[in-house]
Amino acid sequence: MDTVTYPESKVVRFIEENFIPLRVPSDSKPHAEKFNVKWTPTLITLSPEAQEHHRTVGFLGPEELISSLLLGLGKYHYENDRFDEALARLAQLVDGYGQSGSAPEAIFLVGVCSYKRSHDPKPLKAAYEKLSALFPDSEWTKRAYPYRLL
Amino acid sequence: MTTEIKWRTEMDDALCLGQKAGKPILLDFFNHN
């Protein structure tokens, strides 16, 4: 991460604009134990109240890191019932990083957030249809499978 | 122009800054050995 991903100017800009960056050694006490860290790098999106919203383990290149952080931002807002903010972040991910590993979960969450905002089930079905077309083998397509009936 | 990430090193400091700025924290557990 230090030689490939973090030096990239767009990664620096994205993190500085959207996060308070915090680095802690993986054996630091009490944090590593509190967050059950077993391998590095472990990256966690935390609320300012120290609530965990998203986690990745292992190396991520610049594009995968930014898309994963967008998913983290989306989940941070979604889990605090800020659906408009969540949808904005998830749309940024799907539109800009649609082939990334984070995209299927983002599409799933777009459906869920849209439903929770409007109580209209159509976005859930739309999420399944988009997932089955773009990522037929994804875990998130399987999780959305019941929505085909809506 | 920012050329490198300005990592904080203290949890309490980062959480306090996050509350003031209305931003989440990116917590990176790294191997320092």
pLDDT at B3: 81
Looking up residue A60, the CATH number of its domain turns out to be 1.25.40.10
Residues 3-32 of B with CB under 8 A from A: 3-11, 14-15, 17-19, 21-32
pLDDT (0 to 100) of residue A112: 98
**DSSP 8-state class, residue B6:** -
Side-chain-side CA neighbours of A113 within 13 Å: the count stands at 25
ipTM of the complex: 0.93
Residues B19, A48: Cα–Cα separation, whole Å: 5
Partner B contacted by A33 (CB < 8 A): no
- pTM for the model stands at 0.96
What's the structural domain count of chain A?
1
Tell whether A35 is covered by a domain: yes
Residue segments in chain A with a per-residue pLDDT below the cut of 50: none
Q: Which two tokens stand for residue A133?
A: 């077309």
Regions of chain B with pLDDT less than 70: 1-2, 33
Q: Which residues pair with A56 in a beta bridge?
A: A43
Query: Is the residue at A45 inside a domain?
Result: yes
